[in-house]
Amino acid sequence: MKLWKPVMYYHVDTSNKGDWAIKKSITEAILSRIEVPFSYFSVKNDELTESRIINQLNKDCSCLMIAGSGLYTNYAKSSGWYFPCKTELFSKIKVPIILMGLGCNQNLQGNILNSELKEEVKESIKLINDLSVVSTVRDVKTFDLLDSIGVRGHQLQLDPGNFLSVPKIEKEKRVAIQIAQHAPILGRFDGGEEGRKNRYNNIIIYAEISNYLISKGYSVVFISHDALEQSLAVDLLKLVPELEVLNTDNLDAMLYEYGRCQFSIGMKMHSNIMSFAAGTPFISLYYDVKTPEYLKMIHRESFGYSVFEDYYQWLKEKVTSLMDKDELKYQTALINALKNIKKIGFDKVINIVVNTIKRNS
């Protein structure tokens, strides 16, 4: 059996289910074509030093992969952005560099990472892109950012999580819901009065929609994308006793749940993405500029609405429209057709990555 050299894979290694989905999508797509091991490194903790580059990466690995998340952002790492490697060491990397599904974090009001990129950060990002054999970005904003600093050859593609492999699952009269509270403005512990108010409003509206769905004969399941969303489920259950709750680290269990639902209502973009991957239409209640850009890429702007506006009536109308069997069938077919079309570009990139691994093993 051929022993392929491992892939050194850098990513944001946290509890964020969106990052998990990206990792699962990319690695499973590669492993379906070639049996290669992955060595995972955290951009938070694992500094790519000169010694590690020369004695480990260049000697033992087939390539360096940096994947997912808003890494193109001012951050207190040695590169100046969210990658722990000094810019002057990039030229010492002799294996191919692969950049997949990257973004920038300038998307949420009040976020400390929203400042304009420093000049030295722009130079660092341009250099690593110039040295890469593959560079894909997950949104137009990031594509334009790279273009503005002189990067060429990068591709705009959907977040890799959209292409998770999900078995075909028979649909049930069932709806998945998800509420976010990970940011102060959404009701995190440090959000103050405004955050608490937004959290309360979201619970009330979701409870009303859930009870409306249940009155029409639907089962409703709250899918937690962060274990700390359990507190939302606890409060929702007081208003919706029939509500089901799924709080798990098992992505396959989450994808199965999205797959068997007729549609979903989600705030976090990776709730929308998992629903898309499972072939399930979704309604998006967004809190940043990243999600509207995503909706444009899949031609579903009419299915998104800001969570900071009074969205109950709009949401009820959308839910009611998806209760119609013909409309639901039409929207489900659109989602699946679009995934198949967009996956062509993703598969091309995966094939390039696989061939790169083979050439350098």
Which is nearest to 222 in space by CA: 230, 24, 214, 239?
Answer: 230
Angle at 187 between CA 182 and CA 188, to 5 degrees: 50
Q: Which domain holds residue 132?
A: 7-157+341-359
Same-domain pairing of 131 and 201: no
What CATH number corresponds to the domain at position 293?
A: 3.40.50.2000
Handedness of CA 164, 28, 104, 197 (dihedral sign): positive
Same-domain pairing of 146 and 179: no
Same-domain pairing of 25 and 150: yes
Same-domain pairing of 285 and 355: no
Say what the pLDDT of residue 311 is. 98
Q: Residue 233 falls within a domain, yes or no?
A: yes
Same-domain pairing of 25 and 145: yes
Q: Residue 129 falls within a domain, yes or no?
A: yes
Say what the pLDDT of residue 106 is. 57
Q: Residue 307 falls within a domain, yes or no?
A: yes
Q: Residue 199 falls within a domain, yes or no?
A: yes
Same-domain pairing of 11 and 153: yes
Same-domain pairing of 36 and 134: yes
Q: Residue 128 falls within a domain, yes or no?
A: yes
Q: Residue 178 falls within a domain, yes or no?
A: yes
Phi, psi of 8 (to 5 degrees): -85, 110
Say what the pLDDT of residue 335 is. 97
Tell me, rounded to whole angstroms, the distance of Cα 274 from its chain centroid.
Answer: 9
Helix (H, G, I), strand (E, B) or coil at 123: helix
Say what the pLDDT of residue 70 is. 87
> H or E element: which one contains 182?
none
Say what the pLDDT of residue 116 is. 84
Same-domain pairing of 122 and 185: no
The series of mean pLDDT values per 10 residues for the chain, 361 residues long, is: 92 89 97 97 96 98 94 93 97 98 69 73 97 95 94 95 94 98 94 96 98 98 96 98 97 98 97 98 94 94 97 98 97 97 97 97 92
* Whole-number CA gyration radius for the chain: 21
Phi, psi of 100 (to 5 degrees): -130, 130
Q: Residue 164 falls within a domain, yes or no?
A: no
Same-domain pairing of 191 and 313: yes
Based on the structure, what is the number of domains in the chain? 2
DSSP single-letter state for residue 57: I
Say what the pLDDT of residue 13 is. 86
DSSP single-letter state for residue 76: S
Same-domain pairing of 22 and 78: yes
Same-domain pairing of 118 and 221: no
Tokens of 41: 């490194």
Contact 43, 82 (CB under 8 A): yes
Q: CA-CA distances (angstroms) from residue 280 to 192, 226, 275, 302?
A: 35, 21, 5, 16
What CATH number corresponds to the domain at position 140?
A: 3.40.50
State the maximum Cα–Cα separation within the chain, in Å, rounded to a whole number. Answer: 64
Tokens of 89: 């060491």
Same-domain pairing of 121 and 220: no
CA distance 293 to 70: 14
CA distance 186 to 40: 31
Q: Residue 162 falls within a domain, yes or no?
A: no
- Identify any residues that bridge with 146 across adjacent strands, giving them in sequence order: none
Contact 62, 356 (CB under 8 A): yes
Place of tokens 């409060």: 235
Phi, psi of 64 (to 5 degrees): -110, 120
